[in-house]
Amino acid sequence: MMPARPMIAPELSMHQKQDAGPSFLTCTQGAANPDNTRNPTTALESGRAPHRGVPVRSPERVAVLLNKVARGNRKRPLRTDALSGLLQGRASFFVTQQVREVPEAVRAALDLAPDLIVVSGGDGTLHLVMTELLHQAQGQAVPPLLVLRGGTMNIAAGNLASGKAPARELATLGRAIDINAFEQGLVSIRNVAPLCVQSTRFDGPRYAFVFANGIAYRILREYYASGEPSPARAFTVTASILGAAFVGEEAERRFFPSLEARVFVDGELASDQPLRISVATPLSRLILWFAPFEEARA
């Protein structure tokens, strides 16, 4: 009989934050054109069935957090004056270019007491903004979020918003406000519990919608180490690492070491075997719209 492995204090732990998690707004074609049957409302989770919201008051104050250096925003710069016009002058803009600017931008946005917060950036931007929002809110509810596609992969935006280009997304929002779509229940708002990640390596919990460790983390580290982030570069880096691991022991040791891990599902221990890769998300679709659980809803 093999002796049980000793229990060790976890260096990193993760769970879904069910309490006071953010809600996400989806302004669809149906919200902007409720009588247009040729463009049915996009489903919130999977695009397969319409989702109707509950009547709420239209946002009077909108805070837009804009990461100017996110890849999508650099390729297609957003003009704040044009966006302000789309939102009928209801928006205040908080622009960041460095990570250290995010806490103050979030603080200024919350001081506005907004009815809606728009986040324009990539998945990393949303992770930073959401972490700051939940830290600064100190357990209080935060305003609903609208996530725009401003980064490279935009996994969260593809799951939590309608997937349109940022300017079109805001134009739809402005139109929805103009025709009182919020009051008619034509705008979808749902709560999504993000991942809460805690570690001895950093202060306080961090929040995100995709978390990866093991091989996935090491590939991302290599991806961001040099070169311009892009889908093509992501494919090249991933393919080269996987290929090198099959032919070289050094690459295998560098990228494929095992992780000591315990996995719990609904409070029950599901596995305590070493892992080479772990990826967690409350979203239904990942990169290339790969759905790990076809029938599951995030």
Per-residue pLDDT of the chain (298 residues; tens, 9 = 90+): 333 333 333 466 766 766 656 788 876 544 444 444 333 233 222 222 334 456 788 999 999 999 999 988 988 888 888 888 889 889 999 999 999 999 999 999 999 999 999 999 988 999 999 999 999 998 888 899 999 999 887 888 888 887 788 888 899 899 989 988 888 888 888 888 888 888 877 788 889 888 877 787 788 788 777 777 777 888 888 888 778 767 777 777 777 777 787 877 777 888 888 887 778 888 877 754 444 444 444 3
Instruction: Return the structure tokens found at 25.
Output: 């707004």
CA 233/CA 227 separation, integer angstroms: 8
- Give 297: exposed, middle or buried? Use CB within 10 Å, 0-12, 13-18, 19+: exposed
Give domain status of residue 295, yes or no: no
User: Strand 62-67 relative to strand 116-121: parallel, antiparallel, unpaired?
Assistant: parallel
The sign one gets for the Cα dihedral 182, 191, 158, 53 is negative
Statement to judge: residues 21 and 80 lie in one domain:
yes
Alpha-carbon distance values, 113 to 81, 108, 181 (Å): 21, 9, 22
C-alpha–C-alpha distance, residues 239 and 245, integer Å? 10
Last residue of a domain, one of 161, 195, 229: 195
CA–CA separation, 52 and 283 (whole Å): 19
Rounded Cα distance, 159 and 287, in Å: 11
Q: Are residues 80 and 191 in the same domain?
A: yes
**pLDDT score at 126:** 92
Residue 285 domain flag: no
pTM of the predicted model as reported, rounded to 2 decimal places: 0.76
User: Domain containing 80: what range?
Assistant: 15-195
Structural domain contains residue 292: no
**41 occurs within a structural domain:** yes
* The length of the chain, given as a count of residues: 298
What count of Cα atoms within 13 Å lies in the side-chain half-sphere of residue 208? 19
112 and 245 in a single domain? The answer is no
CB 8 within 8 A of CB 260: yes
Which amino acid, one-letter code, is at 223?
A: Y
Same domain, 140 and 240: no
Statement to judge: residues 191 and 215 lie in one domain: no
- How confident is the model at residue 57, as a pLDDT? 87
Number of structural domains the chain divides into: 2
- What's the CATH code of the domain at 119? 3.40.50.10330
Question: Given this model, what pLDDT does residue 291 score?
Answer: 47
Please give the Cα distance from 260 to 272 (Å, whole number): 8
Look at residue 235 in the predicted model and tell me its pLDDT. 83
